[in-house]
């Protein structure tokens, strides 16, 4: 390779490394709950199990909230 070609390659790499990363600004960060909800409403195998486990977890959380509020206000 000639010296000019090497300089052009290095300059291109240097400028490419300075480019603004736009992908991080446009991506949406989803919570685990949102991801599980998307899977639960899909047609892939095992989606019903994900939906059922979310329902059971919600039921347990609601029950625990009722127990906690009953203990605070006897």
In a domain, 3, yes or no: no
- CA–CA dist 47, 40 (Å, integer): 5
Average pLDDT value for residue range 28-56: 92
Q: Which domain holds residue 39?
A: 30-74
Total residues found in the chain within this entry: 74
Confirm whether 8 is domain-assigned.
Answer: no
Question: For residue range 10-32, what is the model confidence (pLDDT) as tens digits?
Answer: 777 777 667 666 655 567 899 99
In a domain, residue 5? The reply is no
Q: Is the pLDDT of residue 60 over 90?
A: yes
Least confident piece of the model among 9-18, 50-59, 61-70: 9-18
Query: Is residue 6 domain-resident?
Result: no
Q: How many domains, in total, are found in the chain? A: 1
> Does 73 reside within a domain?
yes
Residue 41 lies in a domain: yes
74 within a domain of the structure (yes/no): yes
| Exposure of 59 in the CB half-sphere (CA atoms within 13 A) | 6
11 occurs within a structural domain = no
**Could you tell me the pLDDT band of residue 51, with boundaries at 50, 70 and 90?**
very high
Give the pair of three-digit tokens for residue 55. Answer: 């329902």
Q: How far apart are CA 69 and CA 61, in angstroms?
A: 12
* Proportion of the chain above pLDDT 70, given as a percent: 82
């Amino acid at each position: 390779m000639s010296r000019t070609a090497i300089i052009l390659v290095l300059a291109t790499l240097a400028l490419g490394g300075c480019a603004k990363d736009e992908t991080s600004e446009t991506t949406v960060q989803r919570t685990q709950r949102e991801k599980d909800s998307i899977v639960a409403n899909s047609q892939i195998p095992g989606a019903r199990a994900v939906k059922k486990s979310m329902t059971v977890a919600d039921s347990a959380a609601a029950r625990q909230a009722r127990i906690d509020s009953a203990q605070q206000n006897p």
